[in-house]
Amino acid sequence: MPPRSLTILMPRTAEQRYSCHSCAGCCRDFTVQLRAEDVVRLNEQQWEQRLGRSPIVHFRGRDWLRQREDGACIFLQENGLCRIHDEFGLENKPLACQMFPFALAPTEKGIQVGLSYACPSMINNRGVELSRHADDVRRMARLVPELRQGQPRPVMLNARLEAAVDEEQAMIRAFERLLGRVDLSMGKRLDGAAWLTSMLRQAKLENVRGKRLDELLDLLVESFSEEIDAAPLQLPTSRQMKVLRQIVFAHVEDVKIGEVQGHGIGGRAITQFRRHHAFGRGRGAVPPVGPQWPALLRFEMVDGVQPATDEAQIRPIDFLLLRYVRSRIMGGRTWGAGYYGWPIITGLEALWMMLAATGWLARLHAGADGRSALTMADVQAALLRTDRAAGRAPWLGSRGEKLRLAWLAEAAGVGRLLHTMRLTEESVEADADDGAGESPDVASD
């Protein structure tokens, strides 16, 4: 089969901007897997002779960039810049380093570009319009031939039903419309998004295919506000809160190769079990959450922290949330090739739970600072942690994770937890130009 065309689909989130500001956050935080071509290039650059040891670590059958004791990349210099970049230029860095914070996934219509919010510039919306990166992304996509070979994996509506391209687009449009209800608070829109997902889980979708799915989605989007007013959400149960903390753990857990090699796989498994158990118990000291987080965190710090109530905090948080959710849904990072090959409905449930985990973590951040209401800084710190794992950490794509989500969804836990962990209190964006109603992606050939 000949390779498919190199159509680059940038998420059409007109409000999102990005340029790299060389903060070195990704160089300090990520474990970089190397492609065979990266290994060849690094060997040609003769680093082993110059550094006195190989910059490549072979671990569990794969090649990785070596990290320093503190977990940062071995090529990160004192001035915060990359030594490979300095000496050989951007295009001679490992592909994963060039690509971040973009993530590419093959789809029927082209190569979908997803955005990672584990990058401060993406979170802070700093830089140029996304379309300005299309040529560079195309250059990188050319370096990954497997993106264009073979048939992309089909997108599923749920575990049993394959989604037609039009049905997937209808889903995207429905969530776009719902999120674009600027007459409603962001919290209510997200409650509505979780409610819509739960309605779709319960519906017999085999009976509403094609145009009928469109009609069903229209009906649900039109009625969601009245429906959720008519049936206020209950508080989550203690078991549901425990599962939420375990989901937080799954998002902040970080496997550093040096740590595994130092403790051995058995030793690592024991410390991992201890951390998992601590999150489940939810009392006492919180295991480490990430670099630049306070060391002495306690679970009790989360208690009593409220959503942001100050308008000066609400507006930027809501705008960040809107950009983030739209980029996940419209940038192909919520289901299909961009999210562990998961069906649309399961992927949406994972997204809502990831946001609930972000709300929990933001409360921990605020509590550690002695504040009783969330601020933008808390939300930024939390999202920087949670989004680095979503769609990337293998354990978040596991069968166990799917079962956990299914259990929560069946017991109405997803909506309850998302609402309880909401980031802002009721407020209506009167004049935000969030581009509601635009088509989902911009094709650039």
Which CB, 121 or 197, lies closer to ligand SF4?
121
Shortest Å distance, C-beta 20 to ligand SF4: 3
Residues constituting the chain:
445
Among 6, 14, 20, 208, binds ligand SF4 (CB under 6 A): 20
Determine, following the binding rule CB under 6 A, whether residue 24 of this chain makes contact with ligand SF4. yes
Work out whether 82 is an interface residue with ligand SF4 (CB under 6 A): no
**Residue 279 phi, psi (nearest 5):** -65, -40
Contacting residue, 3, 5, 23, 135, with ligand SF4 by CB under 6 A: 23
Residues 369-428 that bind ligand SF4 (CB under 6 A): none
How far apart, in Å, are the Cα atoms of 157 and each of 164, 200, 341, 388? 9, 9, 11, 25
How far is it, in rounded angstroms, from Cα 69 to Cα 139?
A: 33
Q: Quick one: tokens of 224?
A: 């969601």
Round the CA-based radius of gyration of the chain to a whole number and report it. 22
Q: What is the DSSP string of 320-372?
A: HHHHHHHHHHHTT-SSBTTTTTB-HHHHHHHHHHHHHHHHHHHHHHHHHTT-S
Under the criterion CB under 6 A, does residue 22 sit at the interface with ligand SF4?
yes
Say if CB 163 and CB 171 are below 8 A apart: yes
Tell whether residue 149 is a contact of ligand SF4 (CB under 6 A): no
Residue closest to 374 by CA, chosen among 312, 434, 430, 417: 312
**Nearer to ligand SF4 by C-beta: 27 or 57?**
27
Q: Look up tokens 């093959």; give the residue.
A: 106
Q: Of the ranges 3-11, 103-111, 119-127, 224-232, which one interacts with ligand SF4 (CB under 6 A)?
A: 119-127
Pairing of strands 62-65, 56-59: antiparallel
Site for ligand SF4 in 95-114 (CB under 6 A): 100-101
Residue 21 sits in the site that holds ligand SF4 (CB under 6 A): yes
- Asked if 121 interacts with ligand SF4 (CB under 6 A), we say yes
Segment interacting with ligand SF4 (CB under 6 A) among 18-26, 65-73, 134-142, 346-354: 18-26
* Position 278 contacts ligand SF4 (CB under 6 A): no
Smallest distance from ligand SF4 to CB 136, Å? 12
Which residues are near ligand SF4 by CB under 6 A? 20-26, 100-101, 119-121
